Amino acid sequence: MTDYASFRQRLDAALRTRDVQQVKSFLIAENQWSSDVPSNPEFAMWLMIAGTPTLKELHTEARRWLVTHGHEEAAEAVLRRTQGSGKAGGGQQSRKPEPGTRKPEREQKPPQGPKSAKPPSPRNHTHRG
The pLDDT value given to residue 126: 55
Domain layout of the chain by residue ranges = 3-82
CA-nearest of 29, 13, 65, 60 to 44 is 65
Q: At what angle do helices 59-68 and 41-50 cross, to 10 degrees?
A: 140
Q: What is the pLDDT of residues 68-127, one digit of tens each?
A: 999 999 999 999 988 755 444 444 333 444 444 444 444 445 555 555 455 555 555 555
- pTM score above 0.75: no
How large a percentage of the chain has pLDDT more than 90? Answer: 57
Instruction: For residues 46-74, give the mean pLDDT.
Output: 97
CA distance 61 to 30: 26
- Dihedral of alpha carbons 37, 39, 41, 44, sign: negative
64 pLDDT higher than 70: yes
